[in-house]
Amino acid sequence: MLTMPTRANPDGCNAPKINRSLSALLGSVALCAVLSAGLAQAEAVPAGLTPAEVESARGIASTLLNQLGQALKTSIANDGPVAAVGVCKDVAPSIATNLSSQNGVQVKRVGTRVRNPNTGVPNSWQKEALSEFDSRLAQGEKPADLEYWRVVDGAQGKRELRFAKAIVTQQLCVTCHGKAEDIPAPLLEKIRAEYPQDEAIGYRVGQLRGAVVLTRSLGSDR
C-alpha cells in the first residue's frame, strides 16, 4: 500500500499539478513514496560487511555510550556536576582507549563543537558523517537510527570500516553543554578552568552533539 508522507517533502510531491493525467499523477505518487521511503531509511550497510562485523561495531559504540553515561550519572549523583567534570576528563578518554584495545578498533567521541581539542575534533570523514546526521535529524529521522557506514581502501591495501553513530543532546547533557547563562557559575568556572578552549556549550535538547566514531581494519582477504 502507498502511504503519503505527513511531513512536507523537499521534492514537492505533495503539490501535484491539476492538469496531470491520472496515470501521471499515480506515477508521481508512487515515485514520491519511494523517495520518502529512501529518506526515512537508516544509512545502508555497505555490501560485503558480515552481520558479525555490523553487530560488533554497533555493540562497541553502544558500550562506549553506556559506560560513559553510567560513569557520568554515578559521578553526578555522588559528588555533583562540578566534580563530575574532573571525572569526565580522566574517565572519558580512558573508557575509549580501553574499548579500543580490547576490540582491536579505534573508537572515541567527536563533537559538532568541541570541549576537548585533543580528542574531540572530527577528521574529514567524521565531519561528513556529522553533517549527514544533522540533515537527517532535520528531516525527522529518529536519533537512534542515525548511523553512517563506509568501507574504504585503507593503509597497506587493507579494507577499512568507518562507522559513526549519532549522539543527540539529552536533558542531562545541557547541565554541562547548555547555554552558558544556564550553567551554574561554579560549574562553568570549573569547565573553563579545565578546558580553556571549550566550544561545546550552547546546545539544546534534541540537537546533534556529536558522534561515536569507529574504525576497524577488515584485512585484505575480500
Residues at the interface with ligand HEC (CB under 6 A)? 69, 72, 81, 84-85, 88-89, 92-93, 109-111, 114-116, 119-120, 167, 169-170, 172-173, 175-177, 200, 209-210
Pull the grid cell for residue 135.
540533515
Task: State the minimum distance, in angstroms, from the CB of residue 17 to ligand HEC.
Answer: 45
**Minimum CB distance to ligand HEC, residue 74 (Å):** 11
Q: Which residues contact 120 (CB under 8 A, 6 or more apart)?
A: 108, 109, 110, 111, 114, 200, 210
Q: What is the closest distance, in whole angstroms, from the C-beta atom of residue 120 to ligand HEC in the complex?
A: 3
Least distance CB 103 / ligand HEC (angstroms): 19
Give me the least distance between CB of 204 and ligand HEC, in Å please: 12
- Smaller CB separation from ligand HEC, 99 or 173: 173
Cα–Cα distance, 182 to 205 (Å, whole number): 13
Residue 84 or residue 146: which is nearer to ligand HEC going by CB?
84
CB-side neighbour CA atoms (13 Å) of 2? 12
CB of 54 to ligand HEC, least distance (A): 23
